[in-house]
């Protein structure tokens, strides 16, 4: 176990070094340089606030079920490590496994958090006249305010596949999330997206590149969506979302990689330590 832990931590370090290499490679090949590097400190600080607010949104949803803020913080660190080093879906499943409410129910709860993360960017798209966002917003609002009627529609395919138990437990997790403080969770997530957007803007400013807050909101939306389906762990998907939203150029790629490093990839090392602490001493770490 110890040898595997040391080996995995070395792999983690190599992944971090690879990210730094990619950032240097992209910025170097794009022929642009730092103009106001102190903005990177702003981006890093904004990323920390965003991470804490993301954890807070989970707490507002699951605090009533006896899940502590500390446990959620540790699980989010652990999930970040697995998501980045292996796969984003697996990172979510690992986090759900240790929540203590059943992993399928946890996925249902996680879906609520994901919806809250996507809504701010979708609302910005609507304000910009991007009407293709309308069906998604309607679906999300339907799921939040009248999930019972939507469940009857969604459950049909699962019944045909004889997977009623899965969709029932998923729905149970969604209902559990609805018992939490949803207004506080949504506000927390909205401010989280704001800080993520601020981090992206600050990263761009470090290179003398400026863009609007609304553009950053959309970039965070695209990054989140593509990161969810990216492999491994959203690497490539996250950055592609930012590039598609802002500008298809070498500068955008460099800014995207550095932004994700400052706001997400830096957590891979503490996440690795949490992951192996949980494996070796699950009760003492998560249940204190």
DSSP code per residue over 88-128 = HHHHHHHHHHTTSS-HHHHHHHHHHHHHHHHHHHHHHHHHT
Higher-pLDDT residue of 217, 104: 217
Asked whether residue 125 is domain-assigned, the answer is yes
Residue pLDDT, tens place only, 145-169: 999 999 999 999 998 888 889 999 9
Buried b (16+ CB within 10 A) or exposed e, 86-121: ebbbbbbbbbbebbbbbbbbbbbbbbbbbbbbbbbb
Is 80 domain-assigned? yes
Q: Tell me if 30 is assigned to some domain.
A: no
Q: What is the pLDDT of residue 48?
A: 96
- What does the pLDDT read at residue 26? 52
Please identify which residue in the block is written with the tokens 């129910």. Answer: 105
Q: In which region does residue 236 sit, left (phi positive, over 0), alpha (psi from -120 to 50) or beta (all else)? A: left
Mean residue pLDDT across the chain = 84
In a domain, 137, yes or no: yes
Residue given tokens 């059943």 in the structure block: 102
The alpha carbon of 99 is separated from its chain's Cα centroid by a whole number of angstroms, namely 17
Residue 107: inside a domain: yes
**Lowest mean pLDDT segment, chosen from 33-47, 74-88, 125-139:** 74-88
CB atoms inside a 10 Å sphere around CB 131: 9
Q: Is residue 25 part of a domain?
A: no
**Percent of the chain with pLDDT strictly greater than 90:** 45
Residue 234 predicted with pLDDT over 50 = no
Tell me what the mean pLDDT of segment 258-274 comes to: 87
Residue 143 belongs to domain spanning: 2-19+36-286
- Tell me: the pLDDT tens digits for 65-99? 888 999 999 999 998 888 877 767 777 788 888 88
Q: Is residue 175 part of a domain?
A: yes
Answer whether residue 229 shows pLDDT above 80.
no
When pLDDT is averaged across residues 197-221 and rounded to a whole number, the result is 93
Instruction: Quote the pLDDT of residue 11.
Output: 56
Q: Is residue 94 part of a domain?
A: yes
Both tokens of 58, joined, read 């989970």
Give the pLDDT mean for 137-144.
95
Is the pLDDT at 277 greater than 90? The verdict is no
CA distance 126 to 253: 26
Domain count, the chain: 1
Asked if 118 contacts 149 with a C-beta cutoff of 8 angstroms, the reply is: no
Give 202-244 as a DSSP string.
HHHHHTT----HHHHHHHHHHHHHHHHH-TTTTTTHHHHHHHH
The distance of Cα 272 from the centroid of its chain, to the nearest Å, equals 17
Is there a contact between 81 and 272 (Cβ–Cβ < 8 Å)?
A: yes
């Amino acid at each position: 176990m110890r040898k595997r832990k040391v080996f995995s931590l070395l792999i983690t370090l190599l992944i971090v070094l690879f990210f730094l290499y990619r950032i240097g490679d992209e910025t170097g090949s794009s022929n642009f340089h730092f103009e106001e590097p102190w903005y990177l400190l702003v981006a890093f600080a904004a990323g920390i606030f965003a991470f804490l607010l993301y954890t807070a949104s989970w707490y507002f949803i699951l605090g009533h079920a006896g899940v502590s803020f500390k446990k959620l913080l540790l699980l989010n660190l652990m999930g970040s490590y697995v998501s980045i080093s292996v796969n984003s879906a697996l990172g979510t499943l690992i986090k759900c496994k240790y929540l203590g409410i059943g992993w399928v129910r946890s996925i249902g709860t996680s879906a609520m958090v994901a919806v809250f993360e996507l809504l701010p960017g979708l609302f910005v798209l609507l304000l910009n006249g991007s009407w293709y966002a309308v069906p998604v917003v309607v679906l999300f609002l339907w799921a939040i305010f009248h999930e019972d009627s939507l469940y009857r529609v969604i459950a049909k395919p699962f019944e045909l596949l004889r997977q009623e138990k899965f969709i029932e437990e998923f729905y149970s997790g969604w209902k559990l999330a609805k018992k939490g403080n949803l207004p506080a969770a949504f506000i927390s997530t909205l401010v989280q997206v704001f800080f993520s957007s601020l981090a992206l803007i600050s990263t761009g400013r470090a290179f003398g590149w400026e863009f609007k807050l609304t553009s950053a909101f959309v970039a965070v939306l695209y990054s989140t969506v593509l990161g969810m389906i990216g492999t491994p762990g959203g690497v490539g998907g996250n950055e592609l979302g930012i590039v598609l939203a802002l500008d298809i150029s070498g500068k955008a790629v460099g800014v995207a990689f550095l932004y994700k490093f400052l706001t997400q990839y830096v957590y891979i090392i503490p996440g690795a330590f949490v992951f192996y602490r949980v494996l070796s001493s699950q009760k003492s770490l998560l249940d204190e």
